[in-house]
């Protein structure tokens, strides 16, 4: 109110204005030049938002998405503008698909920006902005959780309450990909879906995850991931994709959704090592959370669809309906792939210091060490170990 024309100007035909109240609160400012500025801040019912034809509508903070259709309709008659500015504190999947996944609102007249504090270090003219790097780092130290850092500093869609997989931490569990030691064992998870129209809440894409597991079953790495967004897939298509992804790998078992009978039948006829997955959500979620909590399971940053898997883990709520849940890569790469593996849980749950990533020495290093009379550590290379137990272990794993 203090910014609006006052005194004699308040009644001016050009600059004048008058306020309107409803239930003791200001509802609108009617300007004498024909413009009306309406306030709908306090309305919670979509029916109360019906306000005629609007030229501009701005929503501050995260709008409950179920209100959007009514608001959009108000702007259609005048081809009005809609503006939304918010920090994603509610973790609504609809806004994540629009802002982060970029799978919705693909029209030319839509501008979408996902802004982090690092984007605010300088103004457009190159002068220093409000968030120099030292202030950003200080803010990161002051925020209590990794989820808060991702949300407040990087502008990501992260939920930290009611999550199905609260033990997953992006900065801790996504690591740089590197060659897997030859002795590690490969397992897979395959989640078959029809795919197709991504706008359908009941349309689920197919997904595949490949897991490399240490021979002592104490740690594992998700090394390959794929989610067929927007692809119409048959059981045969998924099998072909699986064969492509596992080329050159000696697979122990691929666990699949046993409800997809055609998938299992095709795999068996091709001699692929497919076996029914453990579909219990309670068992699967407990296994995955335990592995993440104790740093036994990590994801390679070059696995393929690493970012898609990370977003699923960060955004899946316990309250999400399974039919509309975005959890296809979780099912394949995490739940199906891990649940039936014979983990050494006694060791894992001791929460001992994390083992270093295994190094694969070159033959020249081994030869030099042998010449010097030094022992060659081949404890993680089954093919190089000559003890009887290792030989038996190797052939047992092949069986």
Using alpha carbons, select from 380, 385, 305, 296 the residue that is nearest to residue 346.
296
Pairing outcome for strands 297-300 and 174-175: parallel
* Across 221-245, average pLDDT: 93
Sorting pLDDT into bands at 50, 70 and 90, what band is 183?
very high
3-26 b/e with 16+ CB inside 10 Å = b? Answer: eeeeeeeeeeeeebbeeeeeeeee
Q: Of 245 and 43, which is predicted with more confidence?
A: 245
Residue 291 in any domain: the answer is: yes
Distances (CA, A) of 72 to 51, 87, 114: 11, 21, 21
Residue 221 pLDDT exceeds 80: yes
Residue 254 bridge partners (DSSP) = 188, 274
Candidate ranges 53-57, 64-68, 242-246; pick with highest mean pLDDT: 242-246
For residues 113 and 17, give the distance between their C-alpha atoms in angstroms, rounded to a whole number.
Answer: 35
Average pLDDT, the chain: 83
Residue 83 pLDDT exceeds 90: yes
Same domain, 190 and 132: no
Task: Note down the domain range covering 132.
Answer: 120-152
Same domain, 177 and 211: yes
Report percent pLDDT > 90 for the chain: 43
Same domain, 342 and 389: no
CB 277 within 8 A of CB 189: yes
Using alpha carbons, select from 124, 188, 142, 122 the residue that is nearest to residue 332.
188
Q: How does DSSP assign 89-125, residue by residue?
A: -S--HHHHHHHTS--S---TT-------GGGGSB-TT
Positive/negative CA dihedral, 123, 115, 131, 64: positive
CB 74 within 8 A of CB 54: yes
Using alpha carbons, select from 370, 327, 300, 27 the residue that is nearest to residue 164.
327
Same domain, 254 and 379: no
Distances (CA, A) of 163 to 81, 167, 312: 35, 9, 10
pLDDT at 384: 41
Residue located via tokens 């095709």: 266
pLDDT at 326: 84
Residue located via tokens 């030989």: 391
Residue 57 in any domain: the answer is: no
Number of domains in the chain: 3
pLDDT at 197: 60
Using alpha carbons, select from 15, 48, 47 the residue that is nearest to residue 33.
15
Q: Which helix (H) or strand (E) holds 60?
A: strand 56-60
Residue 342 pLDDT exceeds 70: yes
Report percent pLDDT > 70 for the chain: 82
CB 101 within 8 A of CB 74: no
Residue 163 in any domain: the answer is: no
Using alpha carbons, select from 346, 394, 311, 335 the residue that is nearest to residue 211.
335
Q: Of 73 and 252, which is predicted with more confidence?
A: 252
Residue 112 in any domain: the answer is: no
Same domain, 134 and 179: no
pLDDT at 133: 92
Q: Of 195 and 95, which is predicted with more confidence?
A: 95
Same domain, 261 and 228: yes
* Across 80-95, average pLDDT: 87
Same domain, 307 and 379: no
295: left (phi over 0), alpha (psi -120 to 50) or beta: left
Same domain, 131 and 232: no
Residue 171 pLDDT exceeds 70: yes
Same domain, 305 and 182: yes
Residue 186 bridge partners (DSSP) = 212, 251
Residue 15 in any domain: the answer is: no
| Long-range CB contacts (within 8 A, 24+) of 249-252 | 249/186, 249/210, 250/186, 250/398, 251/186, 251/187, 251/188, 252/185, 252/186, 252/187, 252/397
For residues 169 and 159, give the distance between their C-alpha atoms in angstroms, rounded to a whole number.
Answer: 12
Residue 336 pLDDT exceeds 90: yes
Residue 202 in any domain: the answer is: yes
pTM score > 0.75 for this model?
A: no
Residue 232 bridge partners (DSSP) = 195
Residue 395 pLDDT exceeds 90: no
* Across 192-219, average pLDDT: 81
Same domain, 333 and 280: yes
Q: 152: which residues sit within 8 A by CB, 6+ positions away?
A: 87, 117, 139, 143
CB 212 within 8 A of CB 189: no
Residue 11 pLDDT exceeds 60: yes
pLDDT at 340: 93
pLDDT at 351: 54
Helix (H, G, I), strand (E, B) or coil at 28: strand
pLDDT at 176: 92
pLDDT at 380: 44
Same domain, 140 and 279: no
Residue 273 in any domain: the answer is: yes
CATH of the domain at 266: 3.30.420.280
Using alpha carbons, select from 84, 53, 74, 308 the residue that is nearest to residue 174.
308
Residue 164 pLDDT exceeds 80: yes
Distances (CA, A) of 190 to 93, 275, 277, 338: 24, 10, 9, 12
Sorting pLDDT into bands at 50, 70 and 90, what band is 196?
low
For the record, the structure tokens of 12 come out as 């001016």
Residue 247 in any domain: the answer is: yes
Same domain, 193 and 125: no
Using alpha carbons, select from 338, 347, 325 the residue that is nearest to residue 285.
338
In the chain the first and final C-alpha atoms are separated, in Å, by 80
**344-381 per-position pLDDT tens digit:** 988 888 754 555 555 555 555 655 555 555 555 544 44
């Amino acid at each position: 109110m203090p910014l609006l024309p006052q005194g004699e100007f308040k009644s001016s035909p050009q600059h004048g204005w008058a306020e309107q109240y409803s239930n003791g609160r200001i509802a609108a400012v009617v300007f004498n030049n024909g413009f009306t500025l309406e306030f709908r801040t306090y309305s919670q019912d979509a029916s109360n938002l019906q306000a005629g034809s609007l030229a501009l509508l701005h929503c501050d903070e995260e709008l409950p998405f179920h209100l959007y259709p009514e608001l959009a309709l108000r702007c259609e008659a005048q081809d009005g503008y809609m503006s939304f500015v918010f920090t994603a504190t509610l973790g609504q999947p609809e806004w994540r698909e629009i802002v982060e996944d970029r799978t919705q609102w693909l029209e030319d007249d839509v501008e979408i920006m996902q802004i982090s504090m690092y984007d605010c270090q300088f103004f457009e003219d190159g002068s220093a902005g409000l968030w120099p790097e030292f202030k950003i780092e200080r803010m990161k130290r002051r925020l209590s959780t990794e989820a808060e850092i991702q949300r407040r500093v990087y502008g990501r869609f992260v939920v930290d309450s009611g999550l199905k997989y609260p033990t997953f931490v992006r900065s801790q569990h996504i690591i740089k990909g590197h060659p897997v030691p030859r002795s590690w064992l490969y397992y897979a998870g395959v989640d078959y879906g029809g795919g197709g129209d991504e706008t359908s809440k009941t349309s689920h894409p197919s997904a595949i995850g490949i897991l490399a597991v240490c021979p002592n079953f104490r740690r594992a790495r998700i090394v390959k991931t794929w989610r067929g967004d927007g692809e119409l897939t048959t059981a045969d298509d998924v099998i072909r994709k699986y064969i492509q992804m596992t080329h050159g790998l000696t697979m122990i078992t691929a666990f699949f959704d046993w409800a997809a009978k055609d998938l299992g039948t095709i795999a068996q006829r091709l001699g692929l090592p497919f076996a029914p997955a453990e579909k219990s959500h309670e068992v699967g979620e407990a296994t995955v959370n335990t592995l993440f909590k104790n740093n036994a399971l990590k994801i390679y940053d070059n696995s393929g669809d690493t970012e898609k898997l990370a977003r699923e883990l960060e955004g899946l709520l316990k309250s999400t309906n399974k039919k509309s849940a975005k959890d296809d890569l979780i099912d394949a790469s995490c739940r199906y792939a891990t649940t039936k593996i014979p983990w050494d849980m006694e060791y894992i749950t001791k929460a001992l210091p994390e083992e270093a990533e295994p190094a694969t020495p070159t033959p020249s290093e081994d030869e030099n060490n042998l010449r010097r009379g030094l022992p060659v550590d081949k404890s993680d290379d089954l093919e190089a170990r000559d003890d009887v137990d290792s030989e038996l272990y190797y052939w047992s794993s092949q069986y």
